Amino acid sequence: MPYRPRQNRDLDRARRAAAAARAQGQPATQAALAQIGAAFDAAAVVNSFKLRVERALRLGPQHPAIRARFFARAALLAGRNLDAAIMQVERWRRDEQRAFAIASALGCGNRLSLEVLTEMRLILRLMRRKRMHAALPAIVAALGDEPNRLAAE
């Protein structure tokens, strides 16, 4: 099967679900519901997450949006190696999940910090998989580059 860009995969999956429903002789409303269901199912959520991470990687640590999103947590990782950074982000993420569960039970949960940590976790694990251990200090330094960060504001 030829390579298809990630952003096209959700659309293709939704169209296949609608075509399968029509092939089974279901009415148009059922085919539309199947297409909508496939467009917003768990696979679409995971794919959307991966697209956000790919976009962050494409933009790089010098981009103002990336700095704003990751600066605070990345500054706390300064001086750590990649494995220690991954372990620290895992701890932060577990703690944030617990805090989010409690806040959601009280009706005031906010997922932003949990999403940032989940994206950071995936980026660090991807760096470990690609054996980019030496790149972490440079990326943390680029995120925390004070003159450029002030100029971006």
92-112 pLDDT, tens per residue? 999 999 999 999 999 888 888
Q: What's the pLDDT band for 149 if we cut at 50, 70, 90?
A: very low
What pLDDT does 145 receive?
66
Q: Which amino acid is at 105?
A: A
Where do the structural domains in the chain lie, given as residue ranges? Answer: 61-152
Q: CB neighbours (10 Å) of residue 47?
A: 16
Q: Stretch 2-11: mean pLDDT, rounded?
A: 81
Q: What's the pLDDT band for 153 if we cut at 50, 70, 90?
A: very low
Instruction: Calculate ∠ Cα 97-99-102, nearest 5°.
Output: 110
Q: Stretch 112-124: mean pLDDT, rounded?
A: 92
CA 142, CA 151: separation in Å to the nearest integer?
Answer: 14
What pLDDT does 10 receive?
83
The CA distances from residue 128 to 22, 68, 133, 135, in Å, are 45, 23, 6, 10
